[in-house]
Structure 1
């Protein structure tokens, strides 16, 4: 199953007719399904979870208080795992083959043991059984626009339903004793701007506009901002929000790829955009920061990171996240960032902070808001399969940060004079 979901009336905000090619007809291979069942049983035998199958069969090492996974349709579930475990596990949730009353808590032990869920002797088979990323999802200038369109142009109303009022779609940074998402998002933005030393009179380039929150915050400091996006939906709403804030004279929003950036800037910031760049283009991305930054200028970067050994093991794999959420996406590792910056730029990393636990809290807020506001989201035309897709996506990511498998970093960089 390599096709992605499609819609009729793609740009309409109402009346969507969703199609999920192949989702409700998992490919059948009795041998692979049987093998997948054995691998799954091996993986959960020591995990602190409870897996319930029809007929009373129980798997896992969890106690009464452990999270529960209920496999509703084991035949379809194991056929999906046998066809492609990296995609089939999430598709099984989308299709209702398994369920959980707290999928983030359930997935956290899986994420913590990600490296050894599959027995090591079987891991050498990855190159033959893992799907590869499609060539058309490479992040060329044209490919990147198509990839971004599939996620960020879904609907501004969808994102407004679960984000805070700043419309910030990246990890917040919570102050001690506070659980207010909006305050934490502004604190995160200020942290990035401080790393780039953005102040009154700064000419700032932002790579990845989002819906304009950072540009507005920087302009209120007295900076002049040029911000780049390749999402038409985001550009439209960002410009409206900037105008309502009375800052249209200080912020210019351009529909432009980062590789097409030109000019000379005192500072550059980019918040969780590099994950959409792709490994083939990491040198180009950092070279662009270097090229447009004045000598003595500073960079504020926020990036999601994974363990370096897992990056090396999985960087060519095609996963559920690629197929349904972020086509062309690729997380970095700290060594990958350090090596690319050192080899391809005159930049030096000067500061670093970790916000991994904050991202877990951020995602929990988003998932709660998404489910609480599902009726209004559904009213715009999204179907129940989409709801399960996004619930799994937000839970899957939350589990990654809760377990420590994933981290998110704020990095400060300086360009030598």
Structure 2
């Protein structure tokens, strides 16, 4: 889905008071961030002097960027990068330039100004809410961009989630496949998937986990809403000789029936939406056989940050993941208590591995950008994905974001009650 240029135009006219307020607040915020801001024209956007070796951002069109920020701060920054209103300076890596912003999320504005959040935040359009009908459209908007595009920057397993690197292990494209397989094996081990296990996978991706589970002797039912992913996953399973052990369905998780010894869902919860977290975990609870184990790999954020962002609409929802929201660990635990008989029995976090994974993806994407263009991508979309990958990397590098594998089981007393004990 390529962006429509009209959607990136600076909205005009804007109330002059809103623009004037933005002109006052932007330098106030930038003075608190240790990234140098060089403005090509007009008054400086930053008033403090920083060391010359600090990462630098060049603002090419400060007036247009200010108007974007005045219209919608959470969207204006990313769209400004997409259209070239600002860029990383020569010699500065984009993620390095964004790290200080991610690290300053709680301090970038004075406390008294955070009270204006309700005037800045805008709710996600109701058209993006993850109903059964809309979820398919939201998933297609991202995952059906084309299998060929994803193959340009992913490893050969076509795994589009965090790898799991070992301490001191090289973080390179050559080691990414091994680290991805380690992540998959860790999830399958936590879910106790062995020969004869009936496994439900919620979110097929391109089939890497389903294929690995089938190679262990499991019988896999894997569901997805992406036709592109389903087609390639089926083709890969056939090619590797495990197609008879894998059933891939174009199906919403809410429509699944039956029970399974194990359930695994890798970075799918981020697409569920807070409104449907209870339904998602209740479905896992209902589909998991007694004595079974579920594993969810989830991107996580601090609970306070999640509460502040759960009702707002930002650049990532508009341009990358429609309807998406990253949960917090406490939010997941509250949902389990309210909607299920499940309890979390293990958590293994590896956020820095995600930062490394994203850096490898971005480096590979940049190295093959001419091939991306050959697929019909325009420069705005290319810059959107470069910003998305760097923006996400900065979040994991600073700990603003984390990723973890969570294991869920029923307490022994719940199992005994179900068995009549």
Distance 1:240 1:61, change over 3 A: farther
With 339-348 and 226-235 compared, the bigger mean Cα shift is at 339-348
Distance 1:205 1:61, change over 3 A: farther
Describe how 1:375-394 pairs up with structure 2 within 5 A.
375-394=370-389
Describe how 1:305-324 pairs up with structure 2 within 5 A.
305-324=300-319
Does the Cα contact within 8 Å between 1:130 and 1:318 map onto a contact in 2?
yes
Which residue is equivalent to 1:222? Answer: 217
Q: Distance in 2 between matches of 1:167 and 1:38?
A: 46
Verify: 1:78 aligned to 2:66, yes or no: yes
| Correspondent of 1:127 among 115, 118, 138 | 118
Q: Distance in 2 between matches of 1:309 and 1:415?
A: 28
Describe how 1:5-404 pairs up with structure 2 within 5 A.
19-29=4-14, 30-55=16-41, 57=44, 59=46, 60=48, 62-100=50-88, 101-178=92-169, 179=171, 180-404=175-399
Q: Distance in 1 between matches of 2:164 and 2:260?
A: 26
Gaps of 5+ in 1: 1-5, 8-17
Q: Distance in 2 between matches of 1:353 and 1:28?
A: 50
Distance 1:54 1:185, change over 3 A: same
Does the Cα contact within 8 Å between 2:73 and 2:120 map onto a contact in 1?
no
Q: Distance in 1 between matches of 2:121 and 2:70?
A: 11
TM-score of the aligned structures, taking structure 1 as reference length: 0.94
Q: Distance in 2 between matches of 1:24 and 1:345?
A: 46
Does the Cα contact within 8 Å between 1:51 and 1:71 map onto a contact in 2?
yes
CA deviation map 1:309-328 (0-9, x unaligned): 11111210000001000111
Q: CA deviation at 1:57?
A: 4.0
Q: CA deviation at 1:300?
A: 1.2
Which residue is equivalent to 1:12? Answer: none
CA deviation map 1:247-276 (0-9, x unaligned): 000000000000011111000000000000
Q: CA deviation at 1:24?
A: 3.6
Q: Distance in 2 between matches of 1:109 and 1:83?
A: 24
Q: CA deviation at 1:58?
A: 6.9
Does the Cα contact within 8 Å between 1:80 and 1:92 map onto a contact in 2?
yes
Give the secondary structure class of the aligned counterpart of 1:262. Answer: coil
Number of aligned residues: 402
Q: Distance in 2 between matches of 1:307 and 1:335?
A: 9
TM-score of the aligned structures, taking structure 2 as reference length: 0.93
Distance 1:19 1:313, change over 3 A: closer
Does the Cα contact within 8 Å between 2:122 and 2:313 map onto a contact in 1?
yes
Q: Distance in 1 between matches of 2:365 and 2:177?
A: 16
Q: CA deviation at 1:126?
A: 2.2
Q: Distance in 2 between matches of 1:77 and 1:32?
A: 14
Does the Cα contact within 8 Å between 1:293 and 1:415 map onto a contact in 2?
no
Does the Cα contact within 8 Å between 1:27 and 1:80 map onto a contact in 2?
no
Gaps of 5+ in 2: 416-421
